[in-house]
Structure 1
Amino acid sequence: MTWDLPDPFVIDLMVAADDIDGLGHANNAVYVTWLERCAWRHSQRLGLDLAEYRRLDRAMAVVRHEIDYLASAYEGEALEMGTWIVESDQRLKMDRCFQLVRPADGLTLLRARTTFVCIELSTGRPKRMPPEFVEGYGKALRRA
């Protein structure tokens, strides 16, 4: 597998019948769901699950998606989604990159970048990252 960056966090995906739109391929909205699933599983692996978010009264909320849809995915195909944390100010904002690959032919189907902002769950307002976020997400930050 050829990844854009080394050592991605990777999840396996299978294109289900419910993912297919009227044009016969995976609907674009499904790809966004896969981005969220991959980011969330990576956060959980870093020890930052929903219980921890609630305990800290903080969460990372999406403020921007940039998605390049490069090729279609079809029902029954096995896919792999990789993610990397590529930027963080360790105060409020963090960026992740994603790559969706079809292992059968090595083709990259999607590249994306998502910007997150730390919010206080109780108010929904932007709030500085707690030390646990700086530590957990910081460990995964790709250093240039």
Structure 2
Amino acid sequence: MFEMKLRVGPADIDELGHLNNVRYVQWVQDVAVAHSSSLGLDWAAYEKMGGMFVLRRHEADYLRSILEGTELTARTWLSNRRSVQVERHIEFLEAGQVVFRSLTRWVFIDRNAMRPARIPAPVVEAFASSY
């Protein structure tokens, strides 16, 4: 399981005084990218392979309002890998309590054909400890 810290700043707050929905989605992507990069799979690595993951489905459960100044722990892990897709789970925790939960389905595509492609062995191996 990969974890990283997030802090809610003034620019993250919407008109209702809590974390903007757009920021949740941005942070889901940021956590996914940080996790992948921590395993040596940054943009350059995917570019060299000629493929990348694209988001196919996104589910989000907003369990409690998150306010400015809140310190969050984001954690992520993977499940249900198939030949061309994988599911990513992300949770945001405040003081150990889950306040947001996301499930995303990512499909690996060939960048030239822009079509689904089998997830390459180096990617499968790098993510093996993330399930």
Question: Aligning the two structures, in what range does the TM-score lie when normalised by the shorter sequence?
Answer: over 0.9
Aligned pair 1:51/2:44, yes or no? yes
User: 2:128 aligns to what?
Assistant: 138
Q: Name 1:60's counterpart in structure 2.
A: 53
Question: 1:139 and 1:61 mapped to 2: Cα distance?
Answer: 21
Please report the RMSD computed on the Cα atoms of aligned residues, expressed in angstroms: 1.1
Tell me, in whole angstroms, the C-alpha distance in 2 between the residues paired with 1:137 and 1:10: 14
After TM superposition, the runs of 4+ consecutive aligned structure 1 residues lying more than 3 A away are none
Residue equivalent to 1:20: 13
Q: TM-score, normalised by structure 2?
A: 0.94
Q: Which runs of 5 or more residues in structure 1 are unaligned?
A: 1-7
Whole-Å separation in 2 of the counterparts to 1:129 and 1:83: 19
Q: Partner of 2:88: helix, strand, or coil?
A: strand
> Is contact 2:53-2:108 (8 Å) kept?
yes
In the alignment, structure 1 residue 116 sits paired with structure 2 residue 109 = no
Taking the TM superposition and a 5 Å limit, the aligned residue runs for 1:28-43 are 28-43=21-36
**1:129 matched to 2:128:** no
Q: TM-score, normalised by structure 1?
A: 0.86
- Report if the CA contact (8 A) 2:2-2:130 is conserved: no
Structure 2 alignment gaps of length 5 or more? none
Return the letter of the residue paired with 2:47.
R
Report Cα offsets for 1:42-99 as digits up to 9, x if no partner. 101111111100000111111001110000111111111100112201x201001111
| Aligned position for 1:3 | none
